[in-house]
Amino acid sequence: MEYIISQLINGICQGAIYALMAIGYSVVVGVTGMVTFTHGEVMMLGAFASYYVFLWAGNNLFLGIIASFAASWIVGMAVYKICYEHFFNAPRHISLICTVGFSMLLKNLAQILFGANRLPMLNIIENQVYSLGPVKINLLQIVILLVVFALAAVLSLFLNRTRAGIALRAVSQEKTAAYMVGINVRRVAMTGNCIGCGIGGVAGMLMAIYYQTCYATMGGTMSMKAFSSSVLGGMTDVRLSALGGLCIGIIENLGITFSSANFRDAFAFCFLILVLLIRPQGFAVKKGARP
Amino acid sequence: MSGLLRTEGVCCYFGGLKAVDNVDMQVEPGDIFGIIGPNGAGKTTFFNVCSGIYKPTHGKVYFCDQDISNMSQEAISHLGVGRTFQTTQLFQFMSVLENVKIGCHMGTKTNMFDAIFHTKTYRADEQYAEEKSMETLRNAGLEQYANTLAGNLSYGIQRRVEIARSLASSPKILMLDEPAAGMNRLETDALRDFLKELNAKGQTILLIEHDMKFVMNCCNRIMVLNFGEKICEGSPEFVSGNKEVQTAYFGSRTFGKDVEANAEN
Amino acid sequence: MSKIKAFVGKHRSLMLTAALVFAIVFPLFGFKKSMVRIFCRILMYFTLAGSLNITNGYSGQTSLGHAGFYCIGAYVMAILTTRFQISFWPVLLLSGIGAAVAGLIISVPTLRLKGIYLSIITLGASEVIRIIALNWEGVTGGSFGIKDIPRPTFFGFTFDSPLKFYYLFLGVAVIFLLISYRLIHSRVGRSWMSIRENELAAKSLGVRTAPAKMMNFAYGAFWAGIIGGIYAVYVQYIDSAVFSLDEGFNIMSMIIIGGQGTLIGPIVGSIVVNGLTELLRPIGVWRFVMYAALIIVMMWFRPQGLMGESNSILAGAKIKMRKAGKTGGKKEAIS
């Protein structure tokens, strides 16, 4: 029983990271209207940025967050320029393949620049365990949850209370109409894409801290998780995507308690396929919300 | 009960919006049946319900006395309902001939085995498709465009191609969603003659149209929809004389008379 | 370019025979073994890319997980020939069928999903297949893979040199081309293409899109499985690392570079990509960066690929009404 509870906590914690990834992903998809395969690589680069910051500036989490956010923001700009801007009026599969190509490019470049080995990211946060009765939770998990909640709150404030945020939501709902009322759709799409990527970068950093390692090929599975989570949440809805991420994290961790950890990714995929079969719109109520 | 296509109390709601509300319609074999109504009257929705794209919220749709309300679009097409769309849905990057050949899909039976080994079925089907599509093109006066990319044609011709493609599947009823939209006067007249000719050969046609003149001259029965409800049905003369139709459709009486006068010209 | 195309079109059977004779004869001119291996790779990837082209290019269902089907074919071959000593030829068929069944299963979600969701499902499925191959140690040998896969024989004739395999690959490629050509120029192929072009219209014409898509998937997967089976006996050792997502992307890059929705495209793509692989060997890992850049460049400037038609849905072309007369006229003049 205790084992299951601790797995549940692991699941929630991991699910929180997935939620952050999914938030970033659904912001990107919503605002550009195109599905991306580069998100995993963007997250990976965020993780590497924080790795080097931790290496040079010590274990300063705040600096790490800023570095990963900034690095992913810049990559996001490149992604936007290369994969989206040119293809707004073209059939979707073209930009899709373009993002696949760009993700290959980033991954292989990262392998050359950072080496193919796993780099250790040890003890960024002290390993302290608190216990509340049978429930044990360590500091790392608390910090991750706090970071995720803080970021989600900031994003939610931005989207709902600021002019730019409202413009962003308008663009993600209806580009033509947004254009009509005088919103600079391209600039807003670019900003939104970069915000999504930046959030993804932070999620990548948290992932690296959680597994205490970062490596050039970590993007693939992360991108799948981000995608699964946001599909579960109905693709473009930020809040439901976060919920989806949480679900995937919990299911994965409960799943591996009953089998081997090697099947972790297989669980997530099978769950995704099941969801798509049974309820393709995910948690979203509205039908036809699919991009 | 008779009638080729019959609806009984068909309703189609989208949330609170009653797009189609309690419509009864009966299309007899050999009719040219027109559905008219102001914008947003639910004509296209009603069409989509009949051809299986939407499922009716209540009510039933019968085709040849068979309940088709919950059938899939493909199954309904297989029963013999051919249709075109309000915005042309051509295979734009295929030639006109290829477009029409796909229309022959239902008339042929080739499966993968036949295609791989070039069996008798395959040869018969290919010949059938070739001949049938050429014949359809000839009848529709599209022969000279056979090898042109469909998307490169003018709008009026594209509409014609879409009708021809649908005809290639030898439908029992041909449903046309605003066939004359985007056509100039000459093309409209040609289309009307074409449809009448088809009808004379025994083709049942159900069409939606905005062009009053076109409908009045072309159809032998007309149904008028407004806000999703049927307000009138009958012969062109009866419909154009109906007061309710005039107020609902034409807005004001004077304006209505004007159009009426046009229609009679 | 259009003149060449017109010329080839006129003398198609002659050109094809010439190409076939050339393909049969030229490896006999004493190439080095390593060179013949490259030819084998080209032919192998041609069939593999061609089978992906069936789903991606002809029915427009962007599948990204082709490596999974390839993987299934290879493992079926490896397991059945090493464990049960069944001979090569029936197992080859089984490899194809196994992959086709997997394709059918994976295509079930496509009955409700479109576009990107389908891509993701295939990607996920390919990864699931690889994870199972990696971890189901009792059957697949786990990370050690399967060694000593026996060479195939044909009436006492053993395929034991790259040259002999070259002819095996060539035979499979030719059969694949022939069958695919016949399928595509039939009602079946037309229904696939109608789905690619406009699914709504296809349905209104009575094309049963769901079974058509399933058959399309199964057919593509079948050939991937066949190639997987031959690959297993060719290299005599397989492990799951070969069948990663990158392999899937590699196959995809070939059809994108060569041109989707054309039969000739995968040949060109395979020659270009495998040729580049050899030419760029000196720059090592940078060549993967080159591929990726090449994909992006292709998408920017020639999304239909080297051999694709510029007036196809795959080119992302927007048909312009005003130019109708001109392009239409040109097209007629050629044909």
Write the pLDDT tens digit of every residue in B165-183: 998 888 889 999 888 887 8
Q: Which helix (H) or strand (E) holds B234?
A: strand B229-234
Nearest CA in chain C to B129: C187
At B264, the pLDDT band (50, 70, 90 cuts) reads: very low
Q: Per-residue pLDDT averaged across B2-13, rounded?
A: 85
Chain C hits for B148, Cβ within 8 Å: 328, 331-332
Provide the mean pLDDT of chain A.
Answer: 84
Q: Do C316 and A224 touch (CB under 8 A)?
A: no
Nearest CA in chain A to C245: A220
pLDDT of residue A202: 92
pLDDT of residue C231: 92
Q: Per-residue pLDDT averaged across C128-154, rounded?
A: 83
| pLDDT tens-digit series, residues C149-173 | 888 877 778 888 888 888 899 999 9
Q: Do B89 and C198 touch (CB under 8 A)?
A: yes
Closest-CA distance, A146 to chain C, in angstroms, reads: 31
Chain B CB within 8 Å of residue C20 CB: no
Parts of chain A with a pLDDT under 70: 282, 284-291
pLDDT of residue A288: 40
User: Would you tell me which residues 42-101 of chain C have a C-beta closer than 8 angstroms to some C-beta of chain A?
Assistant: 60, 62, 64
pLDDT of residue A222: 85
Contact between A283 and A245 under an 8 Å Cβ cutoff? The reply is no
Pair type for strands A213-214 and B221-226:
unpaired
Partner-chain residue, chosen from B72, B89, B110, that has the shortest CB–CB distance to C201: B89
Identify from C105, C117, C257 which residue to disrupt to test chain A contact, counting A C-beta atoms within 10 A and taking the largest count.
Answer: C117
At C128, the pLDDT band (50, 70, 90 cuts) reads: confident
Do at least 3 CB pairs under 8 Å connect B with A?
A: no
Q: Could you give the CA distance from residue A77 to residue A85 in angstroms, rounded to a whole number? A: 10
pLDDT above 60: residue B256: no
pLDDT of residue C229: 92
Domain ranges in chain B are 1-80+171-265, 90-169
Domain ranges in chain A are 19-218
Amino acid at B57: T
Residue C325 three-state SS: helix
What percent of chain C is predicted at pLDDT more than 90?
17
| Three-point CA angle A267, A269, A272, nearest 5° | 110
Q: Could you give the CA distance from residue A167 to residue A163 in angstroms, rounded to a whole number? A: 6
Do at least 3 CB pairs under 8 Å connect C with B?
A: yes
Q: Do C125 and A97 touch (CB under 8 A)?
A: no
Nearest CA in chain C to A264: C131
pLDDT of residue A135: 76
pLDDT above 80: residue B254: no
| pLDDT tens-digit series, residues B9-19 | 888 888 778 88
Partner-chain residue, chosen from A92, A95, A112, that has the shortest CB–CB distance to C285: A112
pLDDT of residue C51: 92
Establish how many alpha carbons lie within 13 A of residue B117's alpha carbon, considering only the half-sphere containing its beta carbon: 6
Q: Write out the two tokens for C76.
A: 């079926």
Contact between A221 and A107 under an 8 Å Cβ cutoff? The reply is no
User: Would you tell me which residues 282-311 of chain C have a C-beta closer than 8 angstroms to some C-beta of chain B?
Assistant: 311
At C330, the pLDDT band (50, 70, 90 cuts) reads: very low
Chain C hits for A270, Cβ within 8 Å: 128
| CA C261 vs CA B5, B148, C46, C220, C315: distances in Å | 40, 19, 14, 13, 10
The residue that leads in pLDDT, B261 or C259, is C259
Contact between C120 and C131 under an 8 Å Cβ cutoff? The reply is no
Chain C CB within 8 Å of residue A232 CB: no
CATH number of this structure's domain B1-80+171-265, picked from the four choices 3.40.50.1000, 2.60.40.10, 2.40.37.20, 3.40.50.300: 3.40.50.300
User: Would you tell me which residues 30-89 of chain B have a C-beta closer than 8 angstroms to some C-beta of chain C?
Assistant: 51, 53, 72-74, 77-78, 82-83, 85, 89
pLDDT of residue B153: 85
| pLDDT tens-digit series, residues A5-37 | 888 888 888 899 999 999 999 888 888 888 888
Q: Do C200 and B147 touch (CB under 8 A)?
A: no
| pLDDT tens-digit series, residues B27-74 | 888 888 988 888 778 888 888 888 888 888 888 898 888 888 888 888
pLDDT of residue C125: 86
Chain B CB within 8 Å of residue C37 CB: no
pLDDT above 70: residue C244: yes
pLDDT of residue C70: 92
Residue B36 three-state SS: strand
The residue that leads in pLDDT, C39 or C245, is C39
Domain, as residue range, for C125: 31-334
Chain A hits for C127, Cβ within 8 Å: 224, 265-266, 269
pLDDT of residue B251: 60
Q: Could you give the CA distance from residue B243 to residue B264 in angstroms, rounded to a whole number? A: 17
Chain C CB within 8 Å of residue B90 CB: yes
At C74, the pLDDT band (50, 70, 90 cuts) reads: very high
Q: Per-residue pLDDT averaged across C23-48, rounded?
A: 85
pLDDT of residue B74: 87
Helix extents (H) in chain A: 2-32, 39-57, 61-79, 92-114, 139-161, 163-173, 175-180, 185-211, 219-232, 238-257, 264-278
Q: Per-residue pLDDT averaged across C85-113, rounded?
A: 86
Q: Is the pTM of this model over 0.90?
A: no
Question: What backbone phi and psi angles, to 5 degrees, belong to B146?
Answer: -50, -40
Provide the mean pLDDT of chain B.
Answer: 84
At C219, the pLDDT band (50, 70, 90 cuts) reads: very high
Chain C CB within 8 Å of residue B157 CB: no
CATH at residue C321: 1.10.3470
**DSSP secondary-structure letter at B153?**
S
Give the count of domains, chain C.
1
Distance of CA C29 to the CA centre of its chain: 28
Chain C hits for B122, Cβ within 8 Å: 186
Q: Do A277 and C108 touch (CB under 8 A)?
A: yes
The residue that leads in pLDDT, B264 or C297, is C297
Using left for φ > 0, alpha for ψ between -120 and 50, and beta otherwise, residue C316 falls in: left
Alpha-carbon dihedral sign for residues B63, B15, A239, A271: negative
Q: Per-residue pLDDT averaged across B243-261, rounded?
A: 59
Q: Write out the two tokens for B115.
A: 């295609």
